[in-house]
Amino acid sequence: MTFPVTPPSGIRSVYLHAPFCASRCPYCDFAVSVTDVDLQAWTESIQVELGWLETDPLFRLAPVLETVYVGGGTPSLLGPGAMAAVRSLLGQERMSHPGLEWTAEANPDSFSPSLASAWAQAGVNRLSLGVQSFHSEVLRRLSRRHTPQEAVAAVGIAREAGLTNLTIDLIFGLPSEFDRDWDRDLDVALSLGVPHVSLYGLTVESGTALAERVDQGVVSTPSEETYRTEYLRAAERLIEAGYVHYEVSNFALPGAESQHNLTYWELRPYVGLGNSAHSFRGGKRRWNLKDWGDYQAACAEGRPPWSGEEPVGTSEARLERIWLGLRTSNGVPLADLNSRARALAEEWVSRGLGSTDGGAVRLKPAGWLLLDELVVDMELALS
């Protein structure tokens, strides 16, 4: 679905960050809080931030929203009543768009029939399940709290509640010690027939428990060859099964693409609510306090919970358009390239990294593996 360009009346896409987690995964460096879940404190804080947005012409919300995404953290820990609370926060009128895509994230271990039913009744119509793997030992090593059986059951629970627009996350490129059978995970994922699959390569982030284990020699650094092989294998199998590889990490059956994420990738305006959330519109980007405690304190004191902001200049905007264009199947229009950049695009074609069909340079899976490097090369060619 394609929506109209955002009018001056306000922004139509909203992200809400729910930071609570039952435990921190060893590879995670996200803005999460391993503490008691406090739905009331969360909703009260979001309400304060919404109040500040009403005073800001640039980031004010539109009367009607088109995409809402509740991520985390683990939003399913907020309980069955959380999405009704979100609807009340944002307003019934704002949530009345007939084409509204409302996504919420959940982990299989905290996803129950009562929660699924309540979320669907509130209006959630797209569910993102943090599966990561269907292998018991891998889940244990990743400190995930669910079993493979619970992951499969969660898909059934969602469908029973009418949440058929499903996406599952899978993680690849694990250390050799994990002894992971990637094809088996893909077998199970394909057998479930979910309309959307997201792939995330494991990265060792500084300061995480995984980085400490690598430093101690307990596990090895993930192999670049494993990363490459598993990514290409997944792309091959998912495409053969009818999925469209529409973004570097995302595969969808036709019509099941994430409209909210396309907002980011197409540089359309969006507002982020909650700790660490980012907002963007035109020539300005703003971000919130990262720590949940700091964010909550600011809101409780009636202060805007923003941490910083920056202008997005012409050169930065051009680089972002290149990077975002190349990371999606939209690509970068050839009409936007000079002769040097077009010659570079043809070189990519000759190396099997992309194509120039349809008036744009588009990367193939082999090219997406080199995305950062190719973006730099393209920027240099355009300078």
CATH code for the domain of 176: 3.20.20.70
Same domain? 249 vs 337: no
- Residue 211's domain spans which residues? 13-265
C-alpha 279/C-alpha 12 separation (Å) is 12
Residue 281: band (very low, low, confident or very high) from pLDDT cuts 50, 70, 90? very high
Same domain? 107 vs 202: yes
Same domain? 152 vs 232: yes
Same domain? 259 vs 323: no
Entry pTM? 0.94
Q: Is residue 296 part of a domain?
A: no
Helix (H, G, I), strand (E, B), or coil: what is residue 241? coil
Choose the final residue of a domain: 248, 265, 282: 265
Q: How many CB atoms lie within 10 A of CB 239?
A: 13
Same domain? 323 vs 251: no
356 has pLDDT over 80: yes
How many domains is the chain partitioned into structurally? 2
Rounded average pLDDT over 308-337: 92
Q: Is residue 305 part of a domain?
A: no
Give the model's pLDDT for residue 8: 58
pLDDT digits (tens, 9 = 90+) for 92-114: 999 999 999 999 999 999 999 99
Q: Is residue 112 part of a domain?
A: yes
Same domain? 109 vs 178: yes
C-alpha 32/C-alpha 22 separation (Å) is 10
Higher-scoring residue by pLDDT: 371, 27: 371
* DSSP string over 298-359: HHHTT---EEEEEE--HHHHHHHHHHHHHTBTT-EEGGG--HHHHHHHHHHHHTTSEE-GGG
Same domain? 36 vs 117: yes
Same domain? 233 vs 361: no
Give the model's pLDDT for residue 243: 98
64 has pLDDT over 50: yes
Same domain? 59 vs 189: yes
Residue 29: band (very low, low, confident or very high) from pLDDT cuts 50, 70, 90? confident
Choose the final residue of a domain: 198, 233, 265: 265
Residue 4: band (very low, low, confident or very high) from pLDDT cuts 50, 70, 90? very low
Same domain? 54 vs 198: yes
Give the model's pLDDT for residue 236: 98
298-328 as b/e, with b when 16 or more CB fall inside 10 Å? bbeeeebbbbeeeebeeeeeebeebbbbbbb
DSSP element (H, E) containing 114: helix 113-122
CA angle (258 as vertex; 194, 82 as ends), nearest 5:
85
In whole numbers, what is the pLDDT of the chain averaged over residues?
Answer: 93
Same domain? 222 vs 97: yes
C-alpha distances in Å from residue 50, one per residue of 177, 217, 266: 46, 47, 24
Give the model's pLDDT for residue 97: 93
50 has pLDDT over 80: yes
Q: Is residue 129 part of a domain?
A: yes
Q: Is residue 2 part of a domain?
A: no
Choose the final residue of a domain: 243, 265, 287: 265
Of the candidate ranges 182-191, 272-281, 318-327, the one whose mean pLDDT is the lowest:
318-327
C-alpha 216/C-alpha 287 separation (Å) is 35
For residue 47, with 0-12 CB atoms within 10 Å meaning exposed, 13-18 middle and 19 or more buried, which class applies?
A: middle
6 has pLDDT over 80: no
Rounded average pLDDT over 156-165: 98
Q: Is residue 165 part of a domain?
A: yes
Q: Is residue 302 part of a domain?
A: no
Same domain? 258 vs 359: no
Q: Is residue 293 part of a domain?
A: no
Give the model's pLDDT for residue 9: 75
Q: Residue 129: which of 74, 193, 86, 57 has the closest Cα?
A: 74
Q: Residue 148: which of 187, 186, 195, 108 has the closest Cα?
A: 108
pLDDT digits (tens, 9 = 90+) for 303-313: 999 999 999 88
Sheet of strand 278-281, all strands in order from the earlier edge strand to the far edge? 278-281, 284-288, 306-311
pLDDT digits (tens, 9 = 90+) for 111-151: 999 999 999 999 999 999 999 999 999 999 988 999 999 99
Rounded average pLDDT over 67-80: 96
Rounded average pLDDT over 222-238: 95
